A and B are shown apart, each in its own frame.
Chain A
Amino acid sequence: MTRWFENIVLDEVFDLGAHIFSESEIIAFAKAYDPQYFHVDPALAVHSHFGGIVASGWHTAAVGHRRMVDALDAEEARLRAAGETPGVSGPSPGGSKIAFDSPVRPGDTIAYTLSVYDKRLSNSLPGWGLLFNRMTGINQRGEHVYLSEFVGFSKLRDYRPDLKTRAVLALRKLPLIGGWLKRLT
């Protein structure tokens, strides 16, 4: 969560809470991004093997991401309230898999969890680490509907660049020489 890279404990499972997928929300998302008949048209969807409309898998994934962002916010607020300085999450360079194991149907409640299964220092960004996140989604019947494995950048608390890196970082802030250095480094 929004902890410093150093404070992340591997395989600790965070409850991200649950989301109820309403029919109108499933259809609205799919109309915008994935308008296949079994996502947008209840009458036509009867002819599909699903037997009715189901959520776009990307919708299930996007909602899971939202649950994670909300959990990060809550963790940050908790740390601040405890007088601590929260860590910094960065953008994600991608992920190895997103699996839709069972369909999500209107009215289903999907409970999401998050854990970090591995971490290492970034090779490309000094001062940052990489977290390997696993997210799961389980419906109200206990069936797995979603699994994803994602990478996220996380800032190091104890990072102290060596002298050469500090000099380059300082020079990069200068207007003329900075642009030239950014292209080089």
Chain B
Amino acid sequence: MTNPVTQDRRHFEDLRVGELIALGRVTVTKAMIFGFAREFDPLPFHLDEKAAKASLLGGLAASGWQTGALSLRLLNDAFLSKIASAGSLGFTNLKWKAPVMVDDTIGGTVTIAELRRSDSHPQWGIASLDFDIRNQKNTSVMTMRLANLVELRDAAP
């Protein structure tokens, strides 16, 4: 059965291990940090500049969940919107390596690290996607691996 939404996109068969996806960039403003933190991570060091200075982070920094969400958006724009994505199984090995401070610009790359067919669902493959998110000083701020389902064009084994 052909999915009319994804039929003209790249399918699992079109992906190659080692393919490097260049992400766009996003600057994380104070308003963005406060907005996200109010909704999902209202800890003092994401909401209050004074408390942030006194914390382990040493200044106002984005929630790690926000860094992840923004990175996911960058991957959507560069890649997920162009393939026959069928959703995500989850993430592994997530590391917040350095805080994303106010007005930092983040971007980076995602590499296709592994491709395998699903054992239980012949219509899908699983793409392991390694994020390497960096700030404007080229310091690594976050790495993680996403396991994303991708439809096969030809599901015959």
The one of A47, A63, A99 that contacts B4, using a Cβ cutoff of 8 Å: A47
**A-side contacts of B69, CB under 8 Å:** 32-34, 58, 62
Given A58-B68, A58-B72, does the pair A99, B96 have CB atoms closer than 8 Å?
A: no
> A35-B81, A47-B3, A90-B55 are contacts. A97–B90 as well, Cβ < 8 Å?
yes
CB–CB A91/B64 < 8 A: yes
A residues near B85, Cβ cutoff 8 Å: 36
Residue of B at shortest CB range from A70? B42
**Given A38-B87, A48-B3: A63 in contact with B80 (beta carbons within 8 A):** no
Q: Nearest Cβ in chain B — how far from A55, in angstroms? A: 11
Which residues of chain B have C-beta atoms less than 8 A from A44's C-beta? 5
Q: Do A63 and B40 contact each other (CB < 8 Å), given the known contacts A57-B88, A96-B93?
A: yes
Q: How far is the CA of A111 from the CA of B86 in the complex (A)?
A: 25
Q: Is A103 an interface residue (CB 8 A)?
A: yes
1/0 per residue A2-33: CB within 8 Å of B?
Answer: 00000000000000000000000000000011
Pick the 4 closest A-B CB pairs, nearest first: A99-B90, A94-B95, A33-B69, A62-B40
Name B's A-contacting residues (CB within 8 A).
3-6, 39-43, 45, 55-57, 61, 63-65, 68-70, 72-73, 76, 80-81, 85-97, 99, 144
